[in-house]
């Protein structure tokens, strides 16, 4: 990689990182205020800026769910679980959405003990 290419890459990363952090902070602030559509938009922006993240997909799902967009929340939770299958909070939230829509529980969803190495996701 040439020196100019490395410099350009460094500049792009330096500029993108604050935007990513700002979007997350905006999302968390909007969620705390109860402005769930704005929170969802901020989390989507952070995802588009920095790429996939299980934690961001989980945060997006929670904002979508609070906005009444349960189908979109289920998709975001599935994406979070694809990136981190051990995220127990995402698994529980997805199970609750599916149960509210009449989807029967699969045997593997009955309890967290049936999923080895599960972990609780960190709150915002």
pLDDT at 8 over 80: no
Domains, the chain, in order of start with CATH, read 3-114 (1.25.40.10)
pLDDT digits (tens, 9 = 90+) for 58-102: 999 999 999 999 999 999 999 999 999 999 999 999 999 999 887
Residue 40: how many other CB atoms lie within 10 Å: 26
Non-local CB neighbours of 5 within 8 Å, separated by 6+ positions: none
| Mean pLDDT to the nearest integer, 99-121 | 59
**Given this model, what pLDDT does residue 88 score?**
95
pTM over cut 0.75: no
């Amino acid at each position: 990689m040439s020196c100019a290419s490395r410099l350009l890459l460094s500049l792009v990363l330096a500029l993108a990182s604050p935007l990513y952090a700002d979007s997350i902070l905006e999302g968390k602030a909007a969620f705390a205020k109860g402005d769930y559509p704005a929170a969802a938009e901020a989390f989507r922006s952070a995802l588009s800026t920095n790429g996939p993240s299980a934690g961001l997909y989980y945060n997006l799902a929670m904002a979508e769910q609070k906005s009444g967009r349960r189908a979109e929340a289920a998709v975001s939770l599935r994406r979070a679980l694809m990136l981190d299958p051990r995220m127990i909070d995402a698994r529980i939230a997805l199970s609750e959405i599916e149960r509210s829509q009449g989807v029967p529980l699969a045997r593997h969803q009955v309890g967290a003990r049936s999923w080895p190495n599960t972990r609780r996701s960190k709150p915002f």
